[in-house]
Amino acid sequence: MRYLLMGVFLSLFGVLISMIFWGMEKVYLVTGTVGCIFLGISMIISGSMVSGDRMRANFATETTDERDERNKITVNALLIALPNIFVAILFYYLSK
């Protein structure tokens, strides 16, 4: 819940900063960029961007605690990204 609220606050901050500098027509760029950055972090840390051989090797060499920590970081980054992407899509369709 804490990371979802962090994502909401980041999206609100992005909307405010964007409205100050560029106006309403560019709000989706800032929030979309923040959302894409955290979505990319989530994909990279999850290990989904590697081949099947590398995925099996990583799974075989990591401990359960390391795997749980990696999954927790992945979900937290995704929870931060989702509100930002939602706000970006909302403002994109409202501005067009």
What are the structural domain ranges in the chain? 2-95
d(CA 94, CA 53): 44
pLDDT value at 28 more than 80: yes
Residue 47 has pLDDT above 90, yes or no: no
In this prediction, residue 52 has a pLDDT band, given cuts at 50, 70 and 90, of: confident
Could you tell me which residue, 12 or 96, shows the higher pLDDT? 12
DSSP at 26: G
pLDDT score, position 23: 85
**pLDDT of 55 above 90:** no
Whether the pLDDT of residue 16 is over 90: the answer is yes
